[in-house]
Structure 1
Amino acid sequence: MILTVSDQDRVRTLVLNRPDALNAFNEALYDATADALLEAATDPQVAVVLLTGAGRAFSAGTDLLEMHRMATDPTFERGKHGFIGLVDALVDFPKPLVVAVNGIGLGIGATILGFADLAFIAADARLKCPFTSLGVAPEAASSYLFPALVGRQDAAWMLLSAEWVSAEEAREMGLVRQVCPADRLLDVAREHASLLARRPISSLVAVKRAMTEPHRAAIRDARDRENAAFAELMGGPANLEALSAFAEGREPDFTGLPPGW
């Protein structure tokens, strides 16, 4: 199974389970994760969702080999939800979402933290928003959520530079609540999730709604702007060079692109 689901003490744990692909999101994993969030949202026995990854990565972001096919193959069949459907499920998820970043987090593996109500990260984990190195735009409303979470300067660096951010830097920014020893990460995350899950679900939902409702319109507007920019840039000269370089196992060279790219 590409996503494992388990329940304990009103906490539903979702584990991204493509360890050989560093839990990169293909269309199937986007669909499975969106479906799991939609199911948890309406399940009266679930108070909290805890999300983590299997193996040495949290998530390497979108599966770039599949993205290359998507950008170049007009017959490629997209999933039921896809990336946009997962983001919609995250925007609308009404219960506390706890994220435990157990290893590297790239792309959606980093921007998903914008939707986390509590986030914990292993001390040896790292985060990267690789959008400019892929010739595309930001995603998952990160252009709105990250400045709100960490301030404009740190958000601009993460979104513009495509450089790695260490676990401690992520904590200093305010992107995560706590840095944990790798062997304690899940225990710490589960302790917090279980504490929340002992509270009335109705109160948890009310508190989260009160906190997020003022931002919903801005999040959706940011998502729409990002999706439009992403669609415009995907398959363009910079993106195709980045994806071709990835498929060929080399560094992209953007110096020969047409002016303006």
Structure 2
Amino acid sequence: MVLLIEDAKRVRTITLNRPDALNAFNEELYDATAEALLAAAADDSVAVVLLTGAGRGFSAGTDLLEMHARATDPAFVPGKHGFIGFLDALVEFPKPLVLAVNGLGLGIGTTILGFADLAFMSTAAKFKCPFTSLGVAPEAASSLLFPQLIGRQNAAWVLMSSEWISPEVALEMGLVWKVCSPEELLAVARDHAEVLAAKPISSLRAVKRTMTEPHRTAVREARDRENACFAELMGGPANLEALTAFAEGRAPDFTGLPAGW
């Protein structure tokens, strides 16, 4: 099972469960998580969703070996929802979404923060948006949501540098709301989720709608721009060098790419 789901006190805890892959999103996990969000949205017994990861990682982002197959294998079969369907489920999710970031978050393991209503981070966790090191573009409307969330220059550094972001820096930026010890993380996040879940679901939905609806069109437009850039760059010289280097266990070398890459 790539997801673990538990209900208590009107809080649905969804745990990403590919610990051996640091909860990297393959097509199966994208599909399962999208389905879980859609189900929680429609379930009148669920007031809040708490999302976390099993093992050492929160999520290592998109599974790079599967990304390599997508870029190079004409017979690759995408999932029912995939990355786009997962994003749609996040954009449309009408209830509070609480994140408990238990370990490293790469790619979508970081950009999902743009959709969180509350984000808690372990002192053992760290973030990275490795888009430039993979020769691709931003994702998940992060080019819009991150400047809103943490300011333009912080967002530029996170999205352009492919450098690790520590818990202290993430908290200072406003990328997360609170930082906790690994032992306390899930309990603290769940306590806050339960405070919200004790409130009327109709009111929670109204607050979420009034906060997100003014930006929904802009989020979709940003996502479409990013996806167009991502599609243009995926499979290009820089991306293929990055993915080949990953598969071969070496650092990528972008210095010999054609001009403009």
> How far has the Cα of 1:13 moved from its partner?
0.4
Alignment match, 2:124: 124
Alignment match, 2:260: 260
Alignment match, 1:39: 39
Alignment match, 2:67: 67
Alignment match, 1:20: 20
Instruction: State the identity %.
Output: 75
Q: Please give the per-residue CA displacement for 1:128-151, whole angstroms capped at 9, x wherever unaligned.
A: 000000000000000000000000
Where does structure 1 differ by over 2 angstroms across 4 or more consecutive aligned residues? none
> How far has the Cα of 1:178 moved from its partner?
0.3
1:24 aligned partner, one-letter code: A
1:148-187 equivalences in 2 (<5 Å): 148-187=148-187
> How far has the Cα of 1:25 moved from its partner?
0.2
SS in 2 for 1:232: helix
Q: Structure 1 regions of 5+ residues with no counterpart?
A: none
Q: Please give the per-residue CA displacement for 1:33-77, whole angstroms capped at 9, x wherever unaligned.
A: 000000000100000000000000000000000000000001000
1:209 aligned partner, one-letter code: R
Alignment match, 1:111: 111
Provide the C-alpha distance between the structure 1 equivalents of 2:153 and 2:253, rounded to a whole number of angstroms: 27
Provide the C-alpha distance between the structure 2 equivalents of 1:206 and 1:256, rounded to a whole number of angstroms: 53
Alignment match, 1:236: 236
Q: Structure 2 regions of 5+ residues with no counterpart?
A: none
> How far has the Cα of 1:166 moved from its partner?
0.2
Alignment match, 2:246: 246
> How far has the Cα of 1:124 moved from its partner?
1.6
2:113 aligned partner, one-letter code: L
> How far has the Cα of 1:170 moved from its partner?
0.5
Q: TM-score of the superposition, structure 2-length normalised?
A: 1.00
Q: CA RMSD in A?
A: 0.4
Equivalent pairs, count: 261
